[in-house]
Amino acid sequence: MITVLSGGVGAARLLAALVTIFDPAEVDAVVNVGDDFVLHGLTICPDLDTITYTLAGRVNEETGWGRRGDTWRTMSALGDLGGETWFALGDQDLATHLYRTQRLGEGATKSEVTREIAARLAVPITLRPVTDDPLATIIDTEFGALDFQDYFVRRRHDVAVSAVRVRGTEAARPAPGVLAALHDATRIVIAPSNPFLSIEPILAVPGVRDALRDRRTDVIAVSPLVGGRALKGPAARLLDDLGFAVSCEGVADVYREVVGTLVIDESDASVAPAIRARGMDVRVTTTVMANPDHARALARTVLA
């Protein structure tokens, strides 16, 4: 069994490639919930939904999130009422949030609802929120402490960051099956997700970081940087803002405690010796999942 610590779009693409070369029944994704929030009274879980839609073959491939072919009539009507439309929820996507919110209100856990939605949409792998307890990633910025989606979507992460915090970790417990998935996996993969925004909130749940530390030699992470830059999103800027080198060496420093092998892109091959000098193995391959063949090559590398 393989367990993949997962954020949103990058993780979803790697998982989609993994299931083409590995038995999906043997793939377990432990997913970040620090981005989850309530808007219009609905509980929205962007990373869980991105992975669900991708593995169900229903994702909007242009954005990487939301549903393919979705329409925006509800958002448009909401805008007419003066409602909040900065976070774009498609008409079909809204059904997911309605269903989830209703089930949570009935007392179901996030794990149960995730399982129900995944089963309905024929997702072939096991998806687990890292915790069923409330967790929220908070970004300390030049404008004060911001909720994650306020920072990421509303302000397009175009702000200076002094710290990333995860609220709720003291009381959070790993969701059922999470620690077993880490313990029993033949390999633990950290997807090419943002180390601070997507992976740290997973590691911050009590027991998870220790579980990875215990298995460090079996943990392989994919660097989200390519040629020393982030393809999309604020990974490079956050490395800089938070005092790390803006390179795969910086990524290695962030992951040093928990990762035995770092996968880096061919364009970053020159920093491989510096990463090895930090006591980490390095694999060099194409990490850009520009097409299915490249994604499969990356999937083969993390399994090799």
Compute the least distance from the CB of residue 141 to ligand FO1, in Å.
Answer: 16
Is residue 191 within 8 Å of residue 7, measured between CB atoms?
yes
- Tell me 189's DSSP state: E
Q: Which two tokens stand for residue 131?
A: 């915790």
How far, in Å, CA of 65 to CA of 265, rounded?
24
Of 18-26, 46-54, 199-207, 224-232, the window that binds ligand FO1 (rule: CB under 6 A) is: 46-54
Query: E strands along the chain, which residues?
Result: 2-6, 27-31, 37-39, 42-44, 126-129, 136-141, 144-147, 161-167, 187-190, 219-222, 225-226, 229-230, 261-265, 281-285
Of 86-94, 211-219, 254-262, 293-301, the window that binds ligand FO1 (rule: CB under 6 A) is: 86-94
For position 196 contacting ligand FO1 by CB under 6 A, the verdict is no
For position 7 contacting ligand FO1 by CB under 6 A, the verdict is yes
Residue closer to ligand FO1, measured from CB, 165 or 300? 165
How far, in Å, CA of 304 to CA of 301, rounded?
5
For position 25 contacting ligand FO1 by CB under 6 A, the verdict is no
Residue closer to ligand FO1, measured from CB, 43 or 169? 43
Binding to ligand FO1 (CB under 6 A) within 125-154 occurs at 149, 152-153
For position 37 contacting ligand FO1 by CB under 6 A, the verdict is no
Q: For binding to ligand FO1 (CB under 6 A), which residues are involved?
A: 7-8, 35, 46-47, 49-50, 65-66, 87-89, 93, 149, 152-153
